[in-house]
Structure 1
Amino acid sequence: MIDEIKGLILFMTRIPAGNSKSDFEGIAKYFMLMPLVGTLISLFGALVAILMSTLGITSGNILGTIVLFTLLYVQGFHHIDGLADYGDSWMVQGNARKKLEVMKDVYIGIGGFIFVFFVELVSLFSISYLFETNGIIIFVKYIIIIETCSRLGLLSCACCGIPSTEGTGRFFVKRTNESHLLTGLLLSLSVSLLLNIPKLGALCSILAVFVGMFFAWKCNNQLNCVTGDILGATAEISRMILLISVIIAAPLIS
C-alpha cells in the first residue's frame, strides 16, 4: 500500500517520495487520496507565501505569480498540458474521434493557448486579490483548501466519467467509484476542519464535486470518454472556479 501511495505522489507531483515499483493499476486503487495530494502540493505554495511575506514582499501580483508558479511546478505541469489539449479539442468542430485525435497531437492550437492563458491568468489575479485583502494566515488557509478541493473536482470527474480505451487516465477513471468520491469528499472536509474554516471548506468541496460531474457529463457526451487530459483540465478549471467562489463567499460566511 505504501509503495502504491508513493507511486501516486510520484506520478502526480515532482515531490521526491523515493522509488516505487507499482504500476498504474496499483496506483489507481488509492486515487481517492487525490485531495490529500492537493493538500501536499498546497503546502509548498503556502510556505513560499509565508517566506515572501516574512521578507516584506507586499505586492499581490508578485506573490500571486510566484505562488501559482510554485503550485504548478510541484505538480509537474501535468494538468497544464491537459488543459491545453482540452482547449484544443473544445474548439474543434467534428465528431468525438476527431476531437480525441486533436487532444493526442503534440501541437498547441489557439484553443489550447486561450484556455491556459485565461484560466491561469484569472487564477493568478484571484490569488493576488486574496493575498491583498486578507492576512497571511487566512490567505494560506484559502490556498490549502482550494488546492485540496481542486483535486476533489478531478476525483469527481473520474468517478462520473467513462474510461477511454487507451492512455494512463483510463486506469484512474475505470477504478474510481462512488465510495472513492465519498472518501475524497470526507478528506476535503477534514482538511477544512483542521484549518478551522468548515463552512468555506464545505462550500468548496460541494462545488468541486459538481464541477467534476459537469465536466464528466460534458465529455461523456462529446468525447464518449474521460481521458487523463480531461482530468488535468478539470483540476485547473476547478482551482479557478474555487478561487473566484472564495473571493465572493468568504466575506459572507466567515
Structure 2
Amino acid sequence: MAVNALAALRGALGFLSRVPVGHSDASWEAFRRTPTAIPAAGYPIGALLALPLATIAVAPARGAAVPTETVAVAFVAWLYAVTGITHLDGVADLGDAAVVHGDADRRREVLKDSSLGVGGALALGLVVLGLASVALLLADLARFAPVAAVGLVVAAEVAAKAATATVVCLGDAAHEGLGSALTAESGPRSLLGVGVVAAPVTLVGWPALLPGIAILAAAGVVAAAALWWARSRLGGVSGDVLGATNEIARVVGIHVGVIAWTLS
C-alpha cells in the first residue's frame, strides 16, 4: 500500500508539474487510481512555488532592495516554470467554449480546436492578471510576515488540487480521453480521503483558522461551479475542465486567503 501511495504521489508530481519524476507507466497507473495523490502533490508543489517569497524571508536585507513588482513578476514566471502551461491551456479552451453559440457537441468541438479565440484570450488574461495582482500582495506580505505568505501559497495550491480531485471524484467524462482516464477510476467515496489530505491547510493561519478555512471553501465553490458548468454545457468532465479548475481555484484561493488573513 505504501509503495502504491508513493508511486501515485510521483505520478501526481509528474502530471501536475514539471518536476522530473513520475513519468513511468506504473506511476501513471497508480496516480490515476488514487485521487488523494492530487492534493498530496499540492504540498511539495506549493513549497516550490513559494521559493521567490521565501527568498525575501531568508535574506531580508537583500529582499528589501528588490522592488515588489519584480518579486511579483518572478513569482508568476516561476509558477509556470514549475507547473508548466498545460493546465493553463485548459483555461483558454474553456474560455473559447464558454462564448461559443451552440449545444454541447459544438462546445466540445471548440475545445479540440488549437486556435485561440477572444473568449480564451480573455480567460487567460483574467487568470494571469489575477495571479500577478495577488503576487504583489504576497510580496509585500512576505517582507513582514514571510511564514504567512509562504503558508498561503502552499494552502492555495493544496486547495486547488483538492478542487481538481473533487471534480475527478464527482464528475463523469464527456468522452474518452484524459478526463475519462481519471474519473473512471474514482467515485464519491474517494472524496473523503481527498478531504483528509487537504484538511491540514486549515491551520495555515494558526491560531486563526479563518484563512485556511476560507481557502478551502473558495476551492470548493470553484469545484462546484466547474462541475455544474461541465455537466450543463459540455455534457461531462474533460481534461480541459480539470486543468481550468486547478488554475482558477489557485487564483481564487490565494486572493481569498490574503483577504481572510488580513481580517483575522
Query: TM-score by structure 1 length?
Result: 0.90
| Structure 2 CA distance for aligned equivalents of residues 193 and 128 of structure 1 | 23
**52, 64, 76: which one pairs with 2:72?**
64
- 1:192-226 CA-to-partner distances (Å, cap 9, x unmatched) read 43774643222211221222012101110111011
Shift of 1:143: 0.8
Note the residue ranges of structure 2 that are not aligned, 5 or more in a row.
none
Moved more, 171-180 or 148-157: 171-180
Shift of 1:128: 1.1
Q: Which residue of 1 aligns with 2:96?
A: 88
Q: Which residue of 2 aligns with 1:109?
A: 117
| Residue identity in the other structure for 1:101 | E
Q: Which runs of 4+ in 1 moved over 4 A?
A: none
Shift of 1:186: 1.8
| Residue identity in the other structure for 2:15 | F
Shift of 1:239: 1.5
| Structure 1 CA distance for aligned equivalents of residues 23 and 15 of structure 2 | 11
8 Å Cα contact 2:148-2:204 kept in structure 1: no
- Tell me the number of residue pairs that the alignment of Structure 1 and Structure 2 aligns: 253
| Structure 1 CA distance for aligned equivalents of residues 24 and 87 of structure 2 | 22
With over 3 angstroms needed to count, the CA separation of the structure-2 counterparts of 1:227 and 1:248, relative to structure 1, is: same
Q: How does 1:22-61 map to 2 (within 5 A)?
A: 22=26, 24-52=28-56, 54=59, 55-56=62-63, 57-61=65-69
Q: Which residue of 2 aligns with 1:21?
A: 25
| Residue identity in the other structure for 1:210 | V
| Structure 2 CA distance for aligned equivalents of residues 63 and 158 of structure 1 | 34
Q: How does 1:64-213 map to 2 (within 5 A)?
A: 64-133=72-141, 135-193=145-203, 196=206, 198-213=209-224
Q: How does 1:208-247 map to 2 (within 5 A)?
A: 208-247=219-258
8 Å Cα contact 1:158-1:216 kept in structure 2: no
With over 3 angstroms needed to count, the CA separation of the structure-2 counterparts of 1:223 and 1:18, relative to structure 1, is: closer
With over 3 angstroms needed to count, the CA separation of the structure-2 counterparts of 1:150 and 1:81, relative to structure 1, is: same
With over 3 angstroms needed to count, the CA separation of the structure-2 counterparts of 1:66 and 1:223, relative to structure 1, is: same
Q: Which residue of 1 aligns with 2:259?
A: 248
| Structure 1 CA distance for aligned equivalents of residues 22 and 166 of structure 2 | 28
Moved more, 150-159 or 112-121: 150-159
8 Å Cα contact 2:7-2:30 kept in structure 1: no
| Structure 2 CA distance for aligned equivalents of residues 3 and 137 of structure 1 | 30
| Structure 2 CA distance for aligned equivalents of residues 186 and 165 of structure 1 | 30
| Residue identity in the other structure for 1:79 | H
With over 3 angstroms needed to count, the CA separation of the structure-2 counterparts of 1:18 and 1:245, relative to structure 1, is: closer
Shift of 1:26: 3.7
With over 3 angstroms needed to count, the CA separation of the structure-2 counterparts of 1:231 and 1:194, relative to structure 1, is: same
| Structure 1 CA distance for aligned equivalents of residues 7 and 257 of structure 2 | 35
8 Å Cα contact 2:157-2:250 kept in structure 1: yes
8 Å Cα contact 1:4-1:30 kept in structure 2: yes
What root-mean-square deviation, in Å, do the aligned CA atoms of Structure 1 and Structure 2 show?
Answer: 2.1
- Give the share of equivalent positions with the same residue, in percent: 26
